[in-house]
Amino acid sequence: MLIEVWADTRRTGRCRSCGARIEWATAVSTGTAMPFDAPIVAESRRGLFVDERQVDAVDTLYSPSHFETCPQAPDWRRKGSR
């Protein structure tokens, strides 16, 4: 699945639950920040701009959402994600 994200929202971080390296990006469709396993494998969609902002397409086959891969994922709902 391809998820389109705003390129200028991408930033690296660490999962607060398991300590894994992750990369945050805000999905264009939902406007919510999502954690992906780092580094993100993204197609830079050159020429694809929405409101003059660059859009990257993240392939979840190679960069799954960390919500799905985190071994501590069940904790996220309890503590909330940041």
Closer residue to Zn ion in complex, CB, 17/26: 17
9, 17, 54, 60: which one binds Zn ion (CB under 5 A): 17
Q: Could you say whether residue 26 binds Zn ion (CB under 5 A)? A: no
Size of the chain in residues: 82
One-letter amino acid for residue 36 of the chain: F
Contact 11, 24 (CB under 8 A): yes
The least CB distance from residue 26 to Zn ion, in Å, is: 19
The residues of the shown chain that bind Zn ion, judged by CB under 5 A, are 15, 17-18, 20, 70
